[in-house]
Amino acid sequence: MTINIIIDTDPGIDDAVALMLALKSPEINVVGITTVAGNVPVDRATENVLKILRYLGITDIPVYQGAYRPIYGELTDTSDVHGSDGLGDVGLEAPKDYKISDKHAVEFLLRASKEYKDLIVVTIGPLTNIALAILLDKKFSERIKHFVSMCGVYGLTKYGVGNITSRAEFNVYTDPIAAKIYFSTPAIKYLIGLDVTQKPSAMLTAKDRVKMRNYGGIGKLIFNMLRRFRGSVPLHDPLTIAYLLDKEVLKFRELYVDVEVSGIYTFGETMADLRQDIPDWLREGFKAYVAYDIDGKKYKEILFTRLIGRRD
């Protein structure tokens, strides 16, 4: 059965791996890729998508550029993590003849939501484009089969600590107002946060990365993109695609979630209402399915078999 998806992204090393995982999986049909400012400015994000498509030899997937800034706030410099170009400075080249659409990403999201009855939207960057689509068309989110998002940290595991502040995850922190608009919709949302992506069994160890390099091809590319890291490295964004490929890789709980948009010390912090034995009407936030456990071995098997053609 074909899985029709749009990927909303801000590449970013782990975004690039997520794109490659989706594009190397025959059961996934990427109907379009939308870009957003986040790890890098939006022009660079779009260029990085094109670099990945060129590397894979793909010429027929439409690419749409989106929001150039958050609804509120400023972009954070992530060059210490992702390199000056966002892809680890590995020297990938963009195609000279791959034309991006002259339509805005939000226009495409709205149109595609009407054309595809079973569309899944995968968000692996700040939620600015999604929030703008929601604000422009109140029925947009209702037309989406469901969303799968790498966003937030919810205090569900001991690994659930922030990666931009002590309690904030980058994608939400970059545009918390967009995240709040997204959370508030009645759409079905599967939220994958740092609670699971930072579990040690799900992280790429130095040994894993050497294996990838030795297999060559995409494995060597991933190794080089991650070469500045020491020890184990979380690959957050590809987990969204891995979940679409194998539902057993994650476990979810239905929770009420929200995001802090104005605190000095808690700006961008996501919260889950974890109180026991109270009625729903007393809970704070908005309903979503939140990942609380991961089969790290299965996740890495998916990465190795789909991207490299070998088992871990």
The span from the CA of 76 to the CA of 62, in Å, is: 27
- Burial of 18 (C-beta count, 10 Å sphere; 0-12/13-18/19+): buried
Note the pLDDT of residue 311.
64
Residue 107, C-beta contacts closer than 8 angstroms, at least 6 positions apart: 64
Neighbouring CB atoms inside 10 A of 228's CB total 14
Structural contact between residues 202 and 193, judged by C-beta atoms closer than 8 angstroms: no
Q: What CATH number labels 3-307?
A: 3.90.245.10
Residues annotated as catalytic are 10, 236
Neighbouring CB atoms inside 10 A of 227's CB total 14
- pLDDT per position in the chain (312 positions), as tens? 899 999 999 999 999 999 999 999 999 999 999 999 999 999 999 999 999 999 999 999 999 999 999 998 889 889 889 999 999 999 999 998 898 999 999 999 999 999 999 999 999 999 999 999 999 999 999 999 999 999 999 999 999 999 999 999 999 999 999 999 999 999 999 999 999 999 999 999 999 999 999 988 999 999 999 999 999 999 999 999 999 999 999 999 999 999 999 988 899 999 999 998 999 999 999 999 999 999 999 999 999 999 998 665
pTM: 0.96
What are the CA-CA distances from residue 213 to residues 23, 30, 223 (Å)?
A: 20, 27, 6
Residue in the block written with tokens 């779009």? 46
- Choose among 147, 120, 141: nearest CA to 3: 120
β-sheet bridge partners, residue 250: 294
Note the pLDDT of residue 99.
87
Ordered DSSP codes for 66-86: --SS-SSS-PPP-HHHH-TTS
